[in-house]
Amino acid sequence: MADPASYRPQTGEIPTNPGVYRFRDPHGRVIYVGKAKNLRSRLNSYFANPAGLMPKTYAMVHTASSVEWTVVGSELESLQLEYTWIKEFTPRFNVMFRDDKSYPYLAVTMGEKYPRVQVLRGDRRKGTRYFGPYTAGAIRDTMDTLLRVFPVRSCSAGVLKRAEASGRPCLLGYIDKCSAPCVGRISAEDHRALAEDFCSFMGGEAKPFVNRLEREMAAAVAELDYERAARLRDDIVAMKKVFERNAVVLAEGTDADVFALHEDELEAAVQVFHVRGGRIRGQRGWVVEKVEDSTTPELVEHLLQQVYGEEAGVQGRLPREVLVPAEPSNAAELAQWLSGLRGARVDIRVPQRGDKAALMSTVRDNAEHALKLHKSRRAGDLTMRSQALQELQEALDLPVALLRIECFDISHVQGTNVVGSMVVVEDGLPKKSDYRKFAVTGAAATDDTAAMHDVLTRRFRHYLDEKREQAAAAAKPAHQAALEAATAAAVADSTTPAPRSKFAYPPNLVVVDGGKPQVNAAARALAELGIEDVYVVGLAKRLEEVWLPDSDFPVILPRASAGLYLLQRIRDEAHRFAISFHRQKRGKAMTVSALDGVPGLGESKRKALLAEFGSVKGIKAATQEELTGAKGIGPSLAAAIVRHFTADGEEAATVPAINMTTGEILET
């Protein structure tokens, strides 16, 4: 790796003007492009203290061997030049939004003699109008429905030529889903007008067409031409079906793109809803690898640059309004740039309330689900799992393969209802049958490190107990073991579940949620039990660094490392499992009944008593004979209930009544 000091420019050489800079590697390739209001201030931040940079930025400045810059006249010019260079060089260290799938568009090739309706993906074509994007199923349904109302040509060039040569239309011409310009059923001018009507309808102008067909249907009924009226009725139903497929979400005439983000430490998922004429016309999504020091406004800035830069010059693609989750710092320059691309004003706004804010919330939910889906697919990939386990083993310098990993987490609220969780991953996949929950009480519940020590001690003490039991069983004579097995088989029946192993076999690696204190507590617990073949690491949330026992410095894994992703996934699962148990325990603690202390009184019998007497007060006032009238309550249990409430009353009677204002004892 190169030393940044070897190519650092002198401070006085760097201008203070706005501009764009490029870092190049030893082969001359551009690896990063950035812009700055003040080039000197921005570039000095890379060289002043390289050790304090985020890991990815640190890698970038050590990969580069030179830096160069270009001075521009304004921030708007720097924005435009930065986008141009990112598109030209595709630098590896820049945030690059890549579509998570290829979305189809409904396209009309207005540049051809006979315009054609078709489904297109990929790059935009000149002379073609695009509507969407849609999902694959929705676009086929939309196209099939509209062709009965607007029978525009949809066949390929080869089919068109064969029909012209033979004088016979294709199947669509026979079933009235094509006006068959190939055989002269309609003139080229009339067919183009039909295609224009199709585009107008898809652009949101549906009501004029529906109103016109309704008038024609009424006229046909008046002329007693019921067959034509029925055809027009079916056309109206088809148009309304397409028109209402996307419900009105904003005021009619609203053209906007609504962006939302959902982020974690490594990646961000982006979703955008395209609203045209107040209706959601399409949806797109991206998943991007984050740069460590990138903020949400910076992600929004790069997103708008890349999305709309690709669509520059395409008619109808840029909306009047762009709704974003956070306003970028250079929102004014971005809006000016987008207005120039559109040829009309474009506003960038953050919705705060009303219908637009509600739609933003929906888009955000879609982004959250998209990120979860992306992570689950990545986690389920066999190659990625193998790579993650290998990277983790090499990064931690472990001599054994990581066949089994256990992760522990502690959850509580201000020291109350302290619980621990244990989740298990085997071959990179969770093994939920081996998950365990721990209730932490007493001195162990005083702080996180004590709780972690207690949980690890209990988990591995069970392992040692099982190990001793297995050794004792193996030492028994063969005839005695056979006799015990036969006896157990004789008393067993089909309703008796098989005995369940408590903790299976030990892991190769223990991961704890936390930093140096938690790791040392876990390592101390293993050492006290004499366990030496289990390795311990901790994953701290703040910077996602990996801590080893008795180490003063953490291990920093690359942000894009599959090994780090595996650790994060295990840590998050342990946290989820601990939170679930904590909420369950806290919920039970908040629902305490006066009947809980009665021995032999279960939940069903408590319900029976409450159904019989209406309340706990009624149960207290009942005699032993009256209590036996409730379902399932016998004389002995009724006597226990009476004793329970009598003892409570006597204990309460010994507590003096005190005036809370004066402190005077009123009675004893």
Report the pLDDT averaged over residues 98-102: 48
pLDDT top residue among 41 and 437: 41
| CATH for 4-94, options being 3.30.1360.120, 3.40.30.10, 2.60.40.3880, 3.40.1440.10 | 3.40.1440.10
pLDDT value at position 151? 87
288-291 long-range contacts, CB within 8 A, separation 24+:
288/95, 288/96, 288/97, 288/98, 289/95, 289/559, 289/560, 290/95, 290/263, 290/265, 290/266, 290/559, 291/54, 291/56, 291/57, 291/93, 291/95
Instruction: Say how far apart CA 182 and CA 189 lie, in whole Å.
Output: 13
pLDDT for the residue 655: 40
Q: What pLDDT is recorded for position 531?
A: 81
| pLDDT at site 145 | 74
- Predicted confidence band at 648 (pLDDT cuts at 50, 70, 90)? low
Q: Where are the alpha helices (H) located in 32-74, listed in sequence order? A: 39-47, 55-63
- 322-to-232, 276, 413 alpha-carbon distances in Å: 39, 12, 41
Options 3.30.420.340, 1.10.357.10, 3.40.50.300, 3.40.50.2000; CATH of 382-476+503-588: 3.30.420.340
Question: Is the per-residue pLDDT at 313 higher than 50?
Answer: no
CA–CA gap between residue 668 and residue 657 (Å, rounded): 7
**Domain boundaries in the chain?**
4-94, 105-205, 256-377, 382-476+503-588, 603-658
Segment 25-63, tens digit of pLDDT? 887 888 898 888 888 898 988 888 777 777 778 878 888
Which of 424-428, 435-439, 580-584 is predicted most confidently?
A: 435-439
Q: Which of 260-264, 312-316, 349-353, 363-367 has the lowest mean pLDDT?
A: 312-316
Q: What is the pLDDT of residues 607-628, one digit of tens each?
A: 788 888 777 778 888 887 788 8
The pLDDT, as a whole number, for residue 661 is 40
Instruction: Calculate mean pLDDT across residues 642-663.
Output: 52
pLDDT band, residue 309 (cuts 50/70/90): confident
CA torsion sign, 465 to 469 to 471 to 472? positive
List of residues 6+ apart from 584 with CB closer than 8 A: none
For residues 626 and 271, give the distance between their C-alpha atoms in angstroms, rounded to a whole number: 65
For residues 508-530, average pLDDT: 86
Least confident of 19-23, 71-75, 238-242, 655-659: 655-659
Residue 404 phi/psi, 5-degree rounding, is -140, 130
Question: Helix, strand, coil: what percent of the chain each, to 5?
Answer: 50, 20, 35
pLDDT at 251 > cutoff 70: no
109: nearest Cα among 146, 160, 154 = 154
Complete edge-to-edge strand list for the sheet that includes strand 347-349: 98-99, 279-289, 267-276, 256-263, 321-323, 347-349
Q: Token digits for 603? A: 């939940």
SS3 283: strand
Q: Is the CATH number 1.10.150 carried by domain 603-658?
A: yes
Please give the share of the chain, as a percent, with pLDDT higher than 70: 78
The residue among 587 and 418 whose pLDDT is bigger is 418
Cα Rg of the chain, angstroms: 36
More confident residue, 137 or 69: 69
With cut-offs at 50, 70 and 90, classify the pLDDT of residue 651.
very low
The reply to whether domains 256-377 and 603-658 share a CATH topology is no
- For the segment 402-421, the average pLDDT, to the nearest whole number, is 81
Q: Kindly report the pTM of this predicted structure.
A: 0.40
Higher pLDDT among residues 217 and 603, named by residue: 217
Mean pLDDT in residue range 115-124: 78
Between the two ends of the chain, the Cα-to-Cα distance in Å is 83
Distance separating alpha carbons of residues 275 and 258, to the nearest angstrom = 8
* CA angle, 142 then 143 then 144, to 5°: 95
Quote the pLDDT of residue 491. Answer: 45
Q: What's the confidence (pLDDT) of residue 333?
A: 86
Structure tokens at 526: 């293993």
**How many residues belong to the chain?**
668
Domain 256-377 has CATH 1.10.3470: no
490: DSSP letter? H
- Whether the pLDDT of residue 7 is over 70: the answer is yes
Report whether 260 contacts 270 (CB < 8 A). Answer: yes
